[in-house]
Amino acid sequence: FDSVSSPLAFLAGKVPECCPTAKMNLFQSVTSALDNTLASDPTAVIFGEDVAFGGVFRCTVGLRDKYGKDRVFNTPLCEQGIVGFGIGAAVAGATAIAEIQFADYIYPAFDQIVNEAAKYRYRSGNLFDCGNLTIRAPWGCVGHGSLYHSQSPEAFFAHCPGIKVVIPRGPVQCKGLLLSCIADQNPCIFFEPKILYRAAVEQVPTEAYTIPLSQAEVIQEGSDVTLVAWGTQIHVLREVANMAQEKLGVSCELIDLQTILPWDTETVCKSVAKTGRLLISHEAPITGGFAAEISSTVQEECFLNLEAPIARVCGYDTPFPHIFEPFYIPDKWKCFDAVKKLISY
């Protein structure tokens, strides 16, 4: 993953000019967002396995000591219990921030998320809701996580109306999008790319700020190919865009989707109408992955604009491997090869 260790300044986007900034990596930006929330919202509580001492990725370090054990506390190793408790706390009026220690272990809580949290407002006719619930989880491959610590389960939740699913690409986006999720009046799942936790630092505002949900960001404008991804894969496609320009003279437009559900169809379709070509890449298996939804929508909306079939470069339809991870992940060489095929079609 040489791409992940590259400087991220060009990917940071517009840093909000709301206050002083400090150098933060991604896990520190999570801590900062949670700190801002606990300070400004007396109803906010943070809970999950090991969060009291800081969590396995150190995202909640110091928060229990600063705000007390009644507001930042450990739970049993029971994901359905964590989310069930979060639903109850949110319904009772608290701002509930639940942590699932790894996204791979969110599946025991699937029923609570999909059948309870997502449908709570709908089934009560808007009399009751658990919109103050935010579920955080480390997500994606990390270089050595294998089948139980490297999964990307966003597509499972994208099939479920009533929740929002968000994935940031760096520290600036992480803090702004997380605070937007916490403030949003719908239950949100916030997946944090674990390989990026310590990858690089950016200047992140120390005070609270938000980045709108359901708005994709055009990171780099181009005219020949549209590249769409989210989270870690954005950094891979950034290298692909540079390689395509240097080696092929091909201009790539790079889009960070940011919100998986509800996603920004307008920005993506507008770009494809301009370039006529689309490549979507994610780490999750290709069959039923969210790239399929994007591909279907773009085909319906931009059929007459397409100059080549839509390309998907994704993980394989196997459990996530350990020693074969370098062959499994959609790296820059696979994506670059797809760009060449799109151009020569």
Contacts of 317 (CB under 8 A, 6+ apart): 285, 286, 287
CA geometry: angle at 118 spanning 113 and 123, to 5°? 125
The reply to whether 79 belongs to the active site is: yes
Contacts of 121 (CB under 8 A, 6+ apart): 128, 129, 130, 131, 162, 186
Distances (CA, A) of 142 to 149, 198, 308, 345: 8, 11, 33, 34
Which residue among the candidates 49, 79, 217, 325 is catalytic per the annotation?
79
Write the pLDDT tens digit of every residue in 31-64: 999 999 999 999 999 999 999 999 999 999 999 9
Q: Options 2.40.10.120, 3.40.50.920, 3.40.50.150, 3.40.47.10; which CATH number does 217-344 get? A: 3.40.50.920
The residue type at 33 = A
Q: Which CATH code is given to the segment(s) 21-205?
A: 3.40.50.970
Cα–Cα distance for residue pair 91/97, rounded to 1 Å: 13
What number of H helices and E strands is found in the chain? 12, 14
Which residue among the candidates 99, 149, 202, 217 is catalytic per the annotation?
149
Domains 21-205 and 217-344 share a fold: yes
What are the extents of the domains in the chain? 21-205, 217-344
Q: Is the pLDDT of residue 266 over 90?
A: yes
CA geometry: angle at 81 spanning 80 and 86, to 5°? 100
Write the pLDDT tens digit of every residue in 64-109: 999 999 999 999 999 999 999 999 999 999 999 999 999 999 999 9
Write the pLDDT tens digit of every residue in 176-197: 999 999 999 999 999 999 999 9
Write the pLDDT tens digit of every residue in 138-177: 999 998 889 999 999 999 999 999 999 999 999 999 999 9
* C-beta separation of 198 from 26 below 8 A: yes
Q: Which residue has the tokens 């150098």?
A: 23
Spatial CA neighbour of 228 closest among 302, 156, 118, 162: 302
- Phi-psi category of 102—alpha, beta or left, where left has phi over 0 and alpha has psi -120 to 50? beta
Cα–Cα distance for residue pair 39/80, rounded to 1 Å: 28
Beta bridge partners of 114: none
The reply to whether 282 belongs to the active site is: no
The pLDDT of residue 19 is 79
